[in-house]
Structure formats: structure tokens, C-alpha cells
Amino acid sequence: MKIPLWSRLRLAPRIALVIVGGLLAVKAVDEVMPLVIRPPQIMFFDRDWLLDNLHDIRDRSVAVPAAERSVALQDLPVRRWLDIEPLNTRPEFPHTSRTGAFAELHLQIADTLGLAPQDVLLMADDLDDPEYSPRPLVVILPPLPTVMTDVLDDRRSNMLSSDLRIAFHIGSGGWLLVTPRSDGQETVRMIRNMLLPISVVLIIGLLSIWVARGIVRPLDDLAAAAEKLGRNRELSLVGDFNAPELRAIGETFNAMQLRLKQFVDDRLQMIAAISHDLRTPLTRLRLFAEYVPDQEQRRQVLSDIKDMEAMVSATLTYASNQLKDEARSDVDLGSLLISLCDTAADAGCRVVYDGPDHARLSCRPVAIRRVFANLIDNGCKFGSEVRVTLRDGPDTIAITIADDGPGIPVAQREEAFRPFTRLETSRNRETGGTGLGLTIASDVILAHGGVIELGDAPAGGLLVTVMLPKAR
């Protein structure tokens, strides 16, 4: 929902307006509730009137048999104001009026009825906010005159209760319970009292969620854009946010992306140009090497040229980003790994595959093949045996490549993914490599939305774990 001029407001006035709006909404609900649900009645009883009627009620009850007591009490005029219920046993409600004006009333009732204080029970609660009482309110006044404005305020002389109950013994185990006459709205008012705090929480909660979503959604967009930029090295511009502060952050983030993308592209283009230009002199060197008379020297020179060509090829692949630009298609990853393991075994490496023969995955085929070919080849170079395991889950496919080589220390595992990093310091192609294998693997796996981690293999070597989501 768009509100005029809302997008021009900064966050501070927005929060202030929401707080004020919430308070006004709560106040409106509080004002409307009494119009929808009638407030409780207020009954004013004169103390002497109440004592006289309680005396008449007891006399009428004692004068008739217990079986006829209910009928005899129906005709009393006081039934307009009081409900009278005959009981066979002592009521269960507690006697609460022990001090103050109600305590004096309790003793006056017992004296008027000619009963011992323990034969009279009086319960009267003291409600702080009479407006929210579910039951009718009763105000027992001392002998008139009195001031109307003091009726609800003067609790020392005037007795106010929302739950007045008077019970007294009438002999033969019988009791009478006298209460103010109900208007039948107690349940509705109790529901109202529960709805009031619930409505307050809902109003404030909904307004808070609305404002919070307006702040959090742009931050989520920024996080998603930063994640995409980190995975694919491609621009992911964020939209026009509705708050001036967030709009400024978005514009700054977009400008940062453009500068960062330009910076990275310039460096990669320079690396790609150098690597491409090296191919021509390498070709000439290969031709010249054929004329080296010493066979051992010729073999060494050709091996060095081959290593340089491999480094140039790997650098061009990394710099050109061509593996990430490849179109996706469905690949049988199980068959692909079995094929790579067979190829490595034919080359003389002991490779064991453990997993299903088929596992479908939507991916970039050439890029994924290169990743696992490099990982298996690394295991063969540094170990004598490699175990490839595939587990096909409902949402992800997990692949592990474990070897029995020297492994990589924990402190160097993060560094292993950096470009042109060789943890093995020799220049031997058989062990040193180009320093781009794990870097390319990490870039490809991250571009697929997956995860690649290095750990310790059960045999003491390196364990490479790759997690690839099935749907991306």
C-alpha cells in the first residue's frame, strides 16, 4: 500500500508517525468498545435499606418449609435488585471483608440477622477501574445525604464492589446466597476485556511489522545483491528504495558495484591479454626446443614449455570467466564421476567410486567436469589412493573426494582457494600445479549455489566435500 508523501519521509519521522498512529488507534478502540458493548450497570444501595431487606429475606425463608423456600422468595419486591438462591450447604467462596467499611458491614449484617459473625459470609472485591468490570457494580452508601462526586472516590465510607456476595445461615444446614441482580452481559464484558489488550498488541504489532518490513526488505535486497556479486562477479543492481536513507545506501551500493566490477574486469583483462600473448613465444620455443641436440635437455625444455602452456591455459580459463557463462543442462553426475574415475584408473591411479550409477543434476557440464577432474587429479598427485563418494539427497547432491596424501593443514585451507597459491613450494609440475585448480573449483561451485570445503580424510589425507543444490 502506497501512502502519498510517505516515500519522502526519513526513517525517524516514519517511526514517530507509526508510534503516534498506534496510540491513536488504541485510543479509538478504547473509545469504541463501550459503544459496542454496554458498560456495567451501577447499583446504589443504601446501607440501612440493604440491612432491612436482608432481615426480611431471612424472616421469609425461615417462615416456610425448605421445599417451598424458592417459591416464597420469588414474590419479594427486592428481587428487582437482588438475586436470592437457597443453598443446602455452606457456599465455597472465601470471606474477604476483614477490614474497613465492608468489615463493619459484615458485623452489622450479623447483628441485624441475630447471627454469629461466622454464620455470615461477605465477599466484596475492590476493582481499580470500575469501567472494565464484567459484572454490575454495587455502591453501598452510608445514610444519606452524600456528595455524588465522592461516591466512587471515597472508598472509606462508600463501599464499591464488582462482585458482592452475601451468604448467611438460616438453620437446619440451609444457607441463603444474596447477590446483585445480573444483567446477563458478564460473558460479553469478559470477552471485551480480553479483546482490548489483544487488539492493542495486534495494532502495535502490525504497524511495527509494516515499518520493519519497509526497512528490512531493502536490506535483504542488498544482501542478495552482494551475495550474487560475490558468487558470479556480475552486477546485481538494487532498485529504488522508498526511504531517503535507504535510497542513498542503494545508490552508493550500485556505484560501488560498478567501480568494483570495472576494477576486477580491468585486472582480469590484463591477465588474459598477457596469458594470450605468451602463447606465441611458447610456440616458437617449442619449435626451437626440437633442435636441442642433447636428448635429456630437450626433454626438460619441452616439459617446462608444457608446464607454461598449462599455466597459460588455466589462467585464461580463470580470467575469461567462460566456465560461468556456459549454459545449464541436465547432467548425469553419477555417470560423469564414474567416467572420471575410470580415466584416472587407466592413468595408473587407484581410484574407488562409491555411490549410485545415476544422479541427475542441472548444471554447467564443462565447468562441473573440469572441477571434479581437477579434484580427482589432485588426489592422485598427492596420494596413492583416491575414494570418490556420491550421496544423492532429496534437495542436494553431496560428493566427497578423499585421498591418503599429506593433506592440508587447517591454517592453510582458506588460503588454498586463493588464485596462484601453491601450498607445495616446489616448482615440480607433478606436485606444484598452477595454483588455480582449487580457485576455479571454488568459483564454479559457488556459481552453482553450492559449497566446497576442505577437511581431514579418514586415511589421514585431504577430504574435499562438495554440496550442490538440485534446483537453483
Residue 219 dihedral angles phi and psi, to the nearest 5° = -65, -35
Q: What is the pLDDT of residues 124-145, one digit of tens each?
A: 876 656 666 777 778 887 766 6
Least confident span in 85-94, 209-218, 329-338 = 209-218
The whole-number average pLDDT for the span 357-366 is 88
Q: Locate 313 and state its grid cell.
A: 591455459
Residue 410 domain-assigned?
yes
Residue 331 domain-assigned?
yes
DSSP 388: E
Question: Quick check: 254 and 237 in contact, CB under 8 A?
Answer: yes
The pLDDT of residue 439 is above 60: yes
Q: Which residues contact 342 (CB under 8 A, 6 or more apart)?
A: 351
The whole-number average pLDDT for the span 413-432 is 61
Q: What is the pLDDT of residues 17-64, one digit of tens each?
A: 778 877 888 778 777 776 766 777 788 888 889 999 999 999 888 888
Residue that is last in its domain, among 184, 202, 236 = 184
DSSP letters along 249-270, please?
Answer: HHHHHHHHHHHHHHHHHHHHHH
Per-residue model confidence (pLDDT) at position 98: 64
Per-residue model confidence (pLDDT) at position 321: 57
Residue that is last in its domain, among 161, 184, 207 = 184
Per-residue model confidence (pLDDT) at position 112: 93
CA atoms within 13 A on the CB side of 374: 21
The residues pairing with 407 across neighbouring beta strands, listed in sequence order, are: none
Of 442, 411, 406, 410, nearest to 424 by C-alpha is 406
The pLDDT of residue 152 is above 60: no
The pLDDT of residue 153 is above 50: yes
The pLDDT of residue 100 is above 80: no
Residue 22 domain-assigned?
no
Residue 396 domain-assigned?
yes
Q: In 10 A of CB 239, how many CB atoms?
A: 11
The whole-number average pLDDT for the span 377-394 is 90
Least confident span in 32-36, 122-126, 341-345, 432-436 = 432-436
The pLDDT of residue 4 is above 60: no
Expressed as residue numbers, the domain containing 360 is 326-469
Residue 401 domain-assigned?
yes
CA distance 391 to 275: 39
Per-residue model confidence (pLDDT) at position 429: 41
Better-predicted residue by pLDDT, 105 or 305: 105
Residue 216 domain-assigned?
no
How sure is the predictor about 216, in pLDDT bands with cuts at 50, 70 and 90?
A: confident
Residue 383 domain-assigned?
yes
Residue 446 domain-assigned?
yes
Better-predicted residue by pLDDT, 90 or 135: 90
Sole residue written with cell 426480611: 56
How sure is the predictor about 453, in pLDDT bands with cuts at 50, 70 and 90?
A: very high
Q: Mean pLDDT across the chain, nearest whole number?
A: 79
Q: How many residues does the chain have?
A: 472
The pLDDT of residue 189 is above 80: no
> What total number of domains does the chain contain?
2
The pLDDT of residue 428 is above 50: no
CA distance 449 to 470: 10
CATH of the domain at 403: 3.30.565.10
The 3-class secondary structure across 378-401, one letter per residue, is: HHHHHCCEEEEEEEECCCEEEEEE
The whole-number average pLDDT for the span 339-352 is 90
16: left (phi over 0), alpha (psi -120 to 50) or beta: alpha
Residue that is last in its domain, among 184, 204, 232 = 184
Per-residue model confidence (pLDDT) at position 427: 33
Per-residue model confidence (pLDDT) at position 290: 78
What are the residue ranges of helices labelled H in 290-399?
Answer: 295-320, 333-346, 365-382
The pLDDT of residue 313 is above 80: no
Q: What is the pLDDT of residues 258-272, one digit of tens each?
A: 888 777 777 767 766
The whole-number average pLDDT for the span 82-97 is 84
Torsion of CA 31, 35, 36, 38, to 10 degrees: 110
Percent with pLDDT over 90 in the chain: 17
* 452 membership: H or E segment, kind and range: strand 451-456
* 87 membership: H or E segment, kind and range: strand 82-87
Question: Quick check: 178 and 167 in contact, CB under 8 A?
Answer: yes
CA distance 423 to 198: 63
